[in-house]
Every structure is written in structure tokens, then in C-alpha cells.
Amino acid sequence: MEKRNELYRGKAKSVYETDNSDQMILLFRNDTSANDGERIDQLDRKGMVNNRFNAFIMDELEKQGVATHHIKLLSDQESLVKSLDMIPIECVIRNISAGSICRRLGVEENLDLNPPTFEFFLKNDPLHDPMINEFHIESFGWAVADEVEKMKQTTLKVNDILTKLFRDAGLLLVDFKLEFGRYKGDIVLGDEFTPDGCRLWDVNTRKKMDKDRFRQGLGGVVEAYEEVAHRLGVELPN
Ligand code: TMP
């Protein structure tokens, strides 16, 4: 398998084509960003930690019956994935109130949400990823009804699996974002699952162990990611 041209450069990952049109390489860079890319920083070891963390979570989800794009780790910062036709929608589940829902609805942080809430956002940085509903997705042709239902059901299933996985590691899965794509007629989980795209709090102290440490200038960002990885049993080189 040969790495070819960069197809796409996101805020923290780059995507490369390979000599196999069904497969791509994801490069997890050390970049981290906040405010739709307005603030960007380089954090040593972050690409490696996120690459290994993502592989661990994707493997766990596959074991429990969730179809993902992940094929295998290639190097410290690279993974081989299936080449999906990405749907430009973010699926968010919230188990505890935090982040944008507090600003949008004027609710306080740290409320248990029972049942968990589900939200769709349109992937669009210039518009600051506006919240949308199922009608928007179908009316504008971003996905059809069956695909919307599959994304919703899979995100709920991922919430069940990962809430337990993190709880067993002494962490609360506060909220998270997933992205999906089409692959040979199926809807498959794409993008990544790392502390960049979820909120994780220590179950006892409620210390933030995710990207909010960067967004809120709390420091110790990669140290927190490594602590989460360590608690889950993700192997990281020194
Ligand atoms: P929010 O509170 O900013 O709406 O984010 C909810 C969760 O989704 C949080 O864990 C961060 C994640 N998320 C992303 O990773 N990327 C995004 O573009 C958005 C809107 C949310």
C-alpha cells in the first residue's frame, strides 16, 4: 500500500489517498484548534495519542457490532481507513449538560440529561456549524430518511457502549460528536473518536479531561488525554 497525495487537510487531521481507491490514510497532526479554527496551537504528542486512542475506541466499537472505517494503525500518527463518501452532518449525544447547549438554552452545566439528548449539526465552519433537524437533512438532500435513522440508532448504540467503557475507567462521557459516511451501500462510522470530539470528566472530581482544557485555557491538555488513555488501557510509547 502506497501513500499518495493529500486529499484534504482538516484542522487536526490530514487525509491521503493510497494506491487502493477504497482506502485512505488518516494523519493525526499535533495541531489543536478552538473557535472554528480561529485559535490554533501545536501540542507535542497529541497526534500520536489521538491516533492510538481512536484506534482503540474504533476496535472496541467494531467488536460490539458497530461498522467503522478503521482498518489498522500504520504508524505513530497514521491509520489506514476505508474511503467513505462523508455525510456533512455531526451527530451529537449529550448525557450531561455542557458546552453549546448551556449557551443556546440558558441551562446550567452539569445537569443529568435523562434521556440523553440528540442533536444534528451541519458541518460548516463559516456558519459555525448550525444546529439542524431531520427535515433539513432530507429537504436539502444531505442524506435520505433511512440513512438519518441509521446514523441516529448507531450514535445511540455508541453512547451505550462508550458510556460503560468510560464509566469502568472512572470517567463520565458527558457528550460526543460522530460523523458518518457511505461505503459500498452501508452507513459506516468515520472521522475519529478522541478527546478532541467528546467531553470526559473524572467521575469523582468532575475534572475536565478533554479538549475543553484547551478551549478554556486550563492547560495540561495532552497530559489529560494520556491519563484517559492510560485508564482505558491504551498502549502509548514513552
Ligand atoms: P458543543 O457543546 O460545542 O455543541 O459540542 C458538543 C460535543 O461535540 C463536544 O464533545 C464537542 C463535540 N463537537 C466537535 O467535536 N466538533 C464540532 O464541530 C462540534 C459542534 C462539536
Q: Which set of grid coordinates corresponds to residue 160?
A: 451505550
Name the residue with the closest Cα to ligand 1, atom 21.
Answer: 177
Residue 238 lies in a domain: no
User: Stretch 177-199: mean pLDDT, rounded?
Assistant: 98
Name the residue with the closest Cα to ligand 1, atom 16.
Answer: 197
Structural domain containing residue 31: 3-82
In the chain, the number of structural domains is 2
Write the pLDDT tens digit of every residue in 28-64.
999 999 988 889 999 999 999 999 999 999 999 999 9
57, 77: one domain: yes
The SS3 assignment for 226 reads helix
Per-residue pLDDT at 58: 98
Residue 225 lies in a domain: no
Query: Please, what is the end-to-end C-alpha distance for the chain in angstroms?
Result: 28
195 lines ligand 1 (CB under 6 A): no
176, 165: one domain: yes
Specify the ligand 1 atom closest to the Cα of 196: 15
Q: For the chain, what percent of residues have pLDDT higher than 90?
A: 97
Residue 232 has pLDDT above 90, yes or no: yes
Pure H helices in 1-99 = 46-63
Q: Which phi and psi angles does 118 have, rounded to 5°? A: -125, 135
Q: Where a domain ends, among 17, 50, 82?
A: 82
Check: CB of residue 93 under 8 Å from CB of residue 118. yes
List % helix, strand, coil for the chain (3-state, nearest 5): 30, 35, 35
Q: What is the pTM of this model?
A: 0.98
